Structure 1
Amino acid sequence: MADDAADPLERTILDLLDQRAADASICPSDAARAASPDDWPALMQPVRDAAARLAAAGRVEVTQGGAVVDVTTARGPVRIRRPRH
């Protein structure tokens, strides 16, 4: 694993982003399914929480409709991507 995130869900998010093109994004359900294929729906909120921690650390951005949003207040589908500078 290329990133040093301590939380397994954070590592899963970062690993999935590493496997994609530099400008690609993932859906939180991608990370949930990768972490637990048989019980992924139960991981949707924990994945969003992990994305929030990564976003607060500046390691990812969470978007909705292409705009960066705060995943803790965003309602509905979001995407996770590497920061665009």
Structure 2
Amino acid sequence: MPDGDRSLEDAILDLLDRRAPGASVCPSDVARAVHRSADEGWRELMEPVRRAAARLAAEGRVEITQHGDPVDPARPRGPVRIRRPG
């Protein structure tokens, strides 16, 4: 796995660790945290973040949700959130 992929997974888990149990993060929160710049370049990280979240979901480390309900990480369409399994 490339280092960039690992850093995205680490960023997802780090942001979740900072939240209350059961809380979720938006992929854009992760992209912005990794990008660390005021410009719009973070948007380019959105799909890589979603792929990183899907890998973590496949390992059972996170859930991908829509409207608060877990969804298949391979098939989410539209806005999603990421949380620890509960």
Q: Tell whether the structures are fold-level matches, with TM greater than 0.5.
A: yes
Aligned partner of residue 48 in structure 2, secondary structure: helix
The alpha-carbon deviation at position 37 of structure 1 amounts to 3.1
Runs of 5+ consecutive residues of structure 1 not aligned to the other structure: 1-5
Q: What is aligned with 1:18?
A: 17
Q: Which runs of 4+ in 1 moved over 6 A?
A: none
Letter in 2 for 1:67: D
TM-score when scaled to structure 1? 0.88
What do residues 57-83 of structure 1 show as CA deviations (whole Å, max 9, x unaligned)?
000000001110123211100000000
Distance 1:56 1:71 in 2: 8
- Report the Cα distance in structure 2 between the residues aligned to 1:26 and 1:71, rounded to whole angstroms: 15
Structure 1: which amino acid aligns with 2:54? A
Paired residue for 2:45?
A: 43
Q: Cα deviation per residue 1:20-51 (whole Å; 9 max; x = unaligned)?
A: 00110000000000000332100000000000
In the alignment, residue 52 of structure 2 is paired with which amino acid? A
Using the TM superposition, give the Cα deviation of residue 54 of structure 1 relative to its aligned residue in structure 2, in angstroms: 0.1
CA root-mean-square deviation:
1.2
Structure 2 residue 72 is the aligned partner of structure 1 residue 73 = no
Aligned residues: 79
Q: Percent identity?
A: 63
- What amino acid sits opposite 2:10 in the alignment? R
Q: Could you state the TM-score of these two structures normalised by the residue count of structure 2?
A: 0.87
Structure with greater helix share of residues: 2
